[in-house]
Amino acid sequence: MRARVLIRPKTGILDPQGQAVERALPALGFEGVANVHVGRLIELDVEDASQVPQMCERLLANPLIEDYEVVELEDAA
Amino acid sequence: MKFGVVRFPGSCDEVDALMACRRFADADLLWHGDRDLRGIDAVVVPGGFSYGDYLRVGAIARFSPLMESVIEFAREGGPVLGICNGFQVLCEAGLLPGALLPNDSLRFVCRQVEVAVENLDTPFTRACDAGALLSIPVKHTTGRYYAPPGTLPHEQVVLRYAPGHNPNGSMDDVAGVCNEAGNVMGLMPHPEHAVDPLTGSADGGRLFESLAMVPVA
């Protein structure tokens, strides 16, 4: 099973990376962009997808500052 | 009193920390792959880039064999001081509240800052004077302290950046915190780089001097 983990900064925590991207887009002529946040993407092949949330809690994310979402994909890479 | 200074692959301030400890007590290096703390009385987790800081600062170092022993040592009341990357490791290990995020400027900062000692009643600050400001350098990219609302009691804030000295956007100017029991402390500034007047300030020595005063069993 291929799993995809999406990790985002928690709402309400200052995200300077997202802000920097948000400021850069209008400079290229892209208007009407708001609430930009930058996170991480981790993809992994796992035998037991039910373990992925625990992996997130213990290592892949820091639940104090990050939210995570696990997406199960079809096949191993 | 004998200090043990942890050396991870990627540590870079462990020798300065060792020399700072030796001004006030005995000290030896501890290797990350060992489990034996070799009878030391206090642990210093130094600055650097432990295990490359891959994934997230401090996240992987926290699972090293030695850290498991350090966590047990801390839970039994042993004094543990984390500096910069060491602070990040102790937060990841759950020994300290909160976490360290990228600086609000997204830039590496390297400068001398002043920090106020907010809590004199810890094993790390007893040698400081009431109301003291310490002049200590910071050098980091990921030093913005954050704790979720309601998780950091006032008395656990040990050091605060003086007004105008917050280099990274830390919440409430927090520069150093301790755990609820008071035996584990972490700070972003580098006291081990401020132990000799030759380098501009010896104020950092007060923290090592305080720890050296802790009675040993």
Q: pLDDT of B46-82, one tens digit each? A: 999 999 888 999 999 989 999 999 999 999 999 999 9
Question: Over 80: is that where the pLDDT of B1 sits?
Answer: yes
Question: Over 90: is that where the pLDDT of B11 sits?
Answer: yes
Please give the average per-residue pLDDT across B111-130, as a whole number: 96
Type of residue at B196: D
Q: What is the pTM of this model?
A: 0.94
Please give the average per-residue pLDDT across B134-151, as a whole number: 97
Closest CA to B187 of B76, B61, B58, B85: B85
- Specify whether the CB–CB gap between A71 and A4 falls below 8 A: yes
- What chain B residue is nearest to A9 in terms of C-alpha separation? B101
* Closest Cβ opposite residue A16 in set B55, B56, B102: B102
ipTM of model: 0.88
pLDDT the model gives residue A2 = 95
- Domain B2-212 fold is Rossmann fold (3.40.50)
- What chain A residue is nearest to B92 in terms of C-alpha separation? A62
* Percent share of chain B, pLDDT over 90: 95
pLDDT the model gives residue A77 = 65
B149 inside 8 A of chain A by CB? no
Minimal Cα–Cα distance from A60 to chain B, Å?
7
B148 inside 8 A of chain A by CB? yes
pLDDT confidence tier of residue A64, bands split at 50, 70 and 90: very high
> Which class in CATH covers the domain with range A2-72?
alpha beta
Q: What residues pair up with B157 in beta bridges, in sequence order?
A: B177
* Closest Cβ opposite residue A13 in set B60, B63, B146: B146
- Tell me the pLDDT tens digit for each residue of B169-216: 999 999 999 999 999 999 999 999 999 999 999 999 999 999 999 998
pLDDT confidence tier of residue B131, bands split at 50, 70 and 90: confident
Rounded Cα distance between B72 and B174, Å, is 26
Minimal Cα–Cα distance from B103 to chain A, Å?
8
Minimal Cα–Cα distance from B194 to chain A, Å?
30
End-to-end CA distance of chain A: 9
pLDDT the model gives residue A76 = 65
- All structural domains of chain B with their residue ranges: 2-212
User: In B, which residues are within 8 Å of A16 by CB distance?
Assistant: 102-106, 169
Type of residue at B154: H
pLDDT confidence tier of residue B88, bands split at 50, 70 and 90: very high
* Closest Cβ opposite residue A14 in set B55, B92, B169: B169
Best A8, A10, A14 residue to mutate vs chain B (most B CBs within 10 Å): A14
- Tell me the pLDDT tens digit for each residue of A6-54: 999 999 999 999 999 999 999 999 999 999 999 999 999 999 999 999 9
Per-chain mean pLDDT for chain B: 96
Instruction: Spell out which chain A residues touch chain B, with contact meaning CB-CB distance below 8 angstroms.
Output: 13-14, 16-17, 20, 59-60, 62, 64-65
Type of residue at B61: A
pLDDT the model gives residue B216 = 86
Rounded Cα distance between B34 and B20, Å, is 23
* Percent share of chain B, pLDDT over 70: 100
